[in-house]
């Protein structure tokens, strides 16, 4: 039997009346990748926060090797060799500092320094960055670099500590294929060196590549351990949810009138022109690698950017919003990706987070917000989206990640619009929450056009009437979601040449 690097016995944790962990028993062996799966709200994040010293347990015991382990702070956990890369990137970096300071943050935080040798610090930072293949100017402010690069900075900082236990919470959600492959190679190297790795993910592509064993969690306890080869992925999902997960059967309705028409659009200099038409009662999933241009397309439609060339019309009228306010007034809504950076207002309750863009619609004659109206709309959306909470007045951060995501999607589904754009609406949610969100998107699609941007093909297949593939800021394929050739879509996603591939409609337009 492999050496048990971490052993957890009878761990419990409650927040008020909410019992989050209910006697967790778990062993995490050294030299193996243990994948932890659990529905949103199952207790995964609380378990991680206890292991990394953010929370203390109410009862139970944790041992690291044969030594009792109960860190009183993240710094204490780090000194013991427990290193965590959190799902929320801002939990692991400081945007106001430069890249070098972020990479060396733990050393700088130790205190006792009267003088910092900036040249030595940057040299060491470059060594840490090079170890994970991160080619970046370490003098740049972190706030000025892309989200994927911030994620790699957080990972590089974690890797530099030579951990005994490395905890990775959805680490690939913002990474490109090349960056993901680089991360996987590092994880496999650490595993071979005897590091215990706890990898939290719902992405089957990640799990199939890395997992030595799968642990399922449900309702604050371990519901299944799968370590016999070949690994039982279906059994792990069943243990996670408590029931079988059924396949999604998409029935494609007849499309209505055109809502959005894009003709000869060029998103950036040097990119190919493309056309795109979206109809009322149609859900289009746009997929492609990180950096393929999906978010640039959304930005142009929502007034956060502009196309270099081309014409865009909404319901037959020119659409060129000068900013989000113009877009919203025209009936174009955007649910942005990366909820904790771009969407969630941490100091607001669920209700105010949900109604924020449309407070005027809940205002009385003197412009005071009618709290009753606001709460009524929130309760309706909570019921529609299946948000698990105690009250609309709960703080948004009291919710699990999946329920926060449901609130952020509900924010933009609470009012009628002509074009709804959802940028990675399934990011960081479990398979059941993904199905719930997808079903609500389709059920409410009749009076608008809907664009869903998603990196995972499985997500596109579950929600879309039509799947459009983007590469190099252009459209390279379009496929009706019926008897679909997934291999052809994947080929377009990862192998699309600079010239257009022919989509299912026989031309490079969509």
Residue 269: φ, ψ to 5°? -55, 130
> What's this model's pTM, rounded to 2 decimal places?
0.68
Q: Tens digit of pLDDT for each residue in 261-288?
A: 999 999 999 899 999 999 999 999 999 8
Angstrom distances, CA of residue 176 to CA of 92, 147, 247, 289: 20, 11, 27, 6
Fold of the domain spanning 1-81+166-245: Rossmann fold (3.40.50)
Q: What is the DSSP letter of 403?
A: H
In this chain, the answer to whether the domains covering 1-81+166-245 and 256-322+419-425+450-510 adopt an identical fold is yes
Q: Do the Cβ atoms of 406 and 458 come closer than 8 Å?
A: no
Q: With b meaning 16 or more CB within 10 Å and e meaning fewer, what string describes 173-210?
A: bbbeeebbebbbebbeebbeeebbbbbbbbbeebbeeb
Pick left, alpha or beta for residue 147 (phi over 0 → left; psi -120 to 50 → alpha; otherwise beta): alpha
SS3 186: helix
* Dist CA 350 CA 68 (whole Å): 39
Q: How many helices (H) and strands (E) does the chain have?
A: 18, 20
User: What pLDDT shows up at residue 498?
Assistant: 38
Matching residue, tokens 């209910």: 22
Q: What is the DSSP string of 120-167?
A: HHHHHHHHHHHHTT----TTSBGGGS-HHHHHHHHHHHHHTT--SEEE
Question: Which pLDDT value is given to residue 287?
Answer: 92
Q: Which helix (H) or strand (E) holds 209?
A: helix 204-210
pLDDT at 509: 47
Quick check: 510 and 503 in contact, CB under 8 A? yes
CB 93 within 8 A of CB 154: yes
pLDDT at 167: 92
Sign of the alpha-carbon torsion through 325, 329, 335, 339? positive
- pLDDT reported for residue 402: 79
φ, ψ for residue 453, nearest 5 deg: -95, 125
Can you tell me the distance from the alpha carbon of 149 to that of 168, in angstroms, rounded to the nearest whole number? Answer: 16
Domain ranges of the chain: 1-81+166-245, 93-161, 256-322+419-425+450-510, 332-416
Fold classification of 256-322+419-425+450-510 is Rossmann fold (3.40.50)
pLDDT 10s digits, 346-357: 888 999 999 888
- Matching residue, tokens 């998409």: 250
- Alpha helical stretches, state H, 292-430: 294-302, 324-330, 339-342, 350-355, 371-385, 401-413
Q: What angle do CA 372, 374, 378 make, to 5 degrees?
A: 115
Which position has the token pair 């009291």? 398
CA distances from 394 to 1, 186, 339, 343, 385 (A): 46, 40, 18, 17, 16
> What residues contact 469, with CB distance under 8 A and at least 6 apart?
286, 287, 288, 475, 476, 477, 478, 479, 489, 492, 493, 496, 503
Cα 396 to chain centroid distance, Å, stands at 17
Asked if residues 470 and 287 have their Cβ atoms less than 8 Å apart, the reply is: yes
Q: Which residues of the chain have pLDDT under 50?
A: 1-2, 496-509
Give 276's DSSP letter. E
């Amino acid at each position: 039997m492999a050496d048990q690097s971490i052993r957890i016995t009878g761990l419990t944790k409650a927040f008020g009346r909410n019992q989050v962990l209910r006697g967790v028993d778990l062993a995490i062996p050294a030299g193996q990748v243990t994948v932890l799966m659990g529905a949103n709200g199952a207790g995964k994040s609380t378990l991680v926060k206890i292991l990394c010293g953010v929370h203390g347990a109410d009862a139970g015991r944790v041992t690291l090797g044969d030594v009792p382990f109960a860190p009183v702070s993240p710094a204490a956990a780090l000194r013991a060799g427990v290193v965590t890369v959190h799902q929320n990137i801002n939990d692991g970096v400081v945007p106001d500092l430069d890249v070098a300071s972020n990479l060396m943050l733990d050393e700088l935080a130790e205190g006792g320094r009267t003088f910092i040798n900036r040249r030595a610090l940057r040299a060491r930072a470059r060594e840490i960055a090079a170890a994970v293949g991160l080619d970046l100017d370490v003098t740049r402010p972190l706030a000025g670099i892309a989200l994927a690069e911030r994620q790699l900075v957080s990972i590089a900082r974690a890797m530099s500590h030579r951990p005994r236990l490395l905890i990775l919470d959805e680490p690939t959600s913002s990474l490109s294929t090349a960056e993901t492959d680089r991360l996987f190679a590092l994880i496999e190297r650490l595993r071979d060196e005897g590091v215990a790795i706890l990898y939290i993910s719902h992405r089957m592509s990640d799990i199939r590549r890395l997992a030595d064993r799968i642990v399922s969690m449900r309702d604050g306890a371990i519901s299944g351990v799968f370590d016999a080869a070949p690994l039982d992925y279906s059994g792990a999902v069943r243990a996670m949810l408590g029931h079988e997960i059924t396949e999604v059967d998409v029935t494609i309705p007849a499309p209505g009138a055109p809502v959005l028409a894009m003709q000869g659009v060029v998103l950036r200099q040097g990119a190919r022109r493309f056309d795109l038409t979206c109809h009322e009662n149609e859900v289009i999933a746009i997929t492609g690698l990180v950096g393929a241009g999906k978010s640039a397309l959304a930005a142009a439609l929502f007034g956060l950017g502009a196309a270099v060339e081309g014409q865009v019309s909404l319901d037959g009228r020119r659409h060129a919003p000068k900013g989000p306010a113009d877009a919203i007034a025209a009936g174009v809504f955007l649910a942005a990706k990366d909820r904790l950076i771009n969407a969630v207002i941490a100091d607001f309750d669920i209700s105010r987070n949900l109604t924020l863009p449309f407070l005027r619609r809940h205002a009385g004659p003197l412009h005071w917000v009618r709290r009753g109206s606001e709460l009524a709309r929130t309760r309706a959306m909570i019921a529609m989206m299946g948000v698990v909470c105690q009250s609309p007045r709960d703080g948004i951060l009291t919710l699990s990640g999946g329920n926060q995501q449901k609130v952020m999607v509900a924010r933009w589904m609470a009012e009628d619009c002509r074009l709804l754009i959802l940028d990675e609406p399934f990011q960081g949610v479990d398979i059941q929450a993904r199905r719930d969100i997808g079903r609500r998107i389709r059920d409410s699609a009749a009076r608008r056009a809907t664009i869903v941007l998603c990196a995972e093909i499985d997500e596109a297949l579950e929600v879309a009437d039509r799947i459009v593939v983007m590469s190099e800021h252009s459209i390279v394929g379009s496929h009706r979601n019926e008897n679909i050739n997934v291999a052809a879509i994947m080929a377009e996603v990862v192998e699309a040449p600079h010239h257009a591939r022919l989509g299912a409609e026989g031309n490079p337009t969509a």
